[in-house]
Amino acid sequence: MQWGHIKTLFILSFLVLNIYLLTQFIDKQRDSADIGFLADEESGSYEEQFESENIKIPELNQDVTEANYINVSEKTFTDEEMDELNNLDGLEATLVEDNFILSQFQKPITLPANPTNSNITNLVAPYLLYPDQFTYWAWDEESNVIVFFQEKDNKPIYFNQNALLLFYLNDKNEITHYTQTMLGDAEQQGNTEESITQLQAIGSLYDRGSLTQDEEVTDISLGFLSRIESQVFAPTWKITIDEENYYFVNAIEGLVYSEDDSIFIQTTMENYIEKIKLLPDENDMKAPTLAVFNQKLDRENRSEPE
């Protein structure tokens, strides 16, 4: 008799549990349907607003994809890698703190007239470790520095001092030095989540007033960005407006950021100077490189509006 009561209690418990799980499933399905409806409604609203204000956007991929943060550690360079660089004709390289390469050309490299991104990439690639892991970003005219960003999963890591190639040019637009830092293997950080769509990312700019009447979104692409110099990077939409101005939108949280090339380069060079100061005084590269960096920083400071 007692066993019969126990069986009845088990059956009732499992029945209640199944009803609870079924209710949760139905609620989740309803929420997903509501989110999909709201997303469609939001997309239609943005498209109508853009059309009414003559805001042009490119053809977009409206699929919702999965995304996740990544955790990437700094790469330390080996003696063998440094030997490989120093065996190259016309190049002298030294290593600081195992993760920062400083290289100096014995004879400056002359750039062709009106060089393209491909021209520059092909010209510098023979003098680098892992050139296929870096992508051209910009030539900053204020500092006369050419910037390359490292890539992970074929996506650039934007504005991070630990995943960076900088080429330093003289007044004749000749490359005299370069610095290189890298990140190592990437690991997923946290749970995989749905990313916001390209249209939602553009809509975030519109909502905050960064995209206005008669402007055109000329490009949108996905990369990684960390708001601080950390090893955790968020999947991030880079949105270019009128081929000049660009913004970054966190592809999971929808937060909007902007960056300034010249400020980033100035801050980076200031930090790199402290690294170079760690070299022994007898190192042949220390004094001339510090002179180059300080000259560029002085020029940038003079160009700032008072």
Terminal CA-CA length for the chain: 93
pLDDT at residue 302 in the model:
64
SS3 at position 2? helix
301 confidence band (pLDDT: 50, 70, 90): low
Per mean pLDDT, which range of 72-81, 115-124, 169-178, 182-191 is the poorest?
Answer: 182-191
Q: What is the mean pLDDT of residues 272-297?
A: 94
Could you tell me which residue, 7 or 286, shows the higher pLDDT?
286
Q: pLDDT tens-digit profile of 240-280?
A: 999 989 999 999 999 999 999 999 999 999 999 999 999 99
Burial 221-242 (b: 16+ CB within 10 A, else e): ebbbbbeeeebebbbbbbbbbe
> How long, in residues, is the chain?
306
> How far, in Å, CA of 270 to CA of 254, rounded?
31
- pTM for this structure? 0.83
pLDDT band of residue 32 (cuts 50, 70, 90) is very low
Mean pLDDT of 206-211: 94
What is the pLDDT, as a whole number, of residue 3? 55
Higher pLDDT, 174 or 24: 174
Residue 305 DSSP one-character state: -
Mean pLDDT, the chain, integer: 87
Residue type present at position 12 = L
Tokens of 16: 């209640």
Mean pLDDT to the nearest integer, 49-61: 93
DSSP character at residue 56: B
Judged against a pLDDT cut of 50, whether residue 128 lies above it is answered with yes
Instruction: Tell me the percentage of the chain whose pLDDT exceeds 70.
Output: 82
Q: Which of 33-42, 57-66, 137-146 has the lowest mean pLDDT?
A: 33-42
Strands 217-225 and 232-241: antiparallel
pLDDT of residue 61: 83
Least confident of 43-52, 232-241, 268-277: 43-52
Residue 305 has pLDDT above 90, yes or no: no
| DSSP letters spanning 124-182 | HGGGSSSGGGEEEEEEETTTTEEEEEEEETTEEEES-TTSEEEEEE-TTSEEEEEEE--
More confident residue, 227 or 15: 227
Structure tokens at 39: 């997303």
Give the Cβ contact number of residue 159 at 10 Å.
25
Share of the chain above pLDDT 90, in %: 71
The alpha carbon of 292 is separated from its chain's Cα centroid by a whole number of angstroms, namely 27
pLDDT tens sequence across 9-18: 655 565 555 5
Per-residue confidence at 38, pLDDT binned at 50, 70, 90? very low
- Quote the pLDDT of residue 23: 56
Q: What is the pLDDT of residue 280?
A: 95
pLDDT of residue 35: 42
- pLDDT band per the 50, 70, 90 thresholds, residue 33: very low
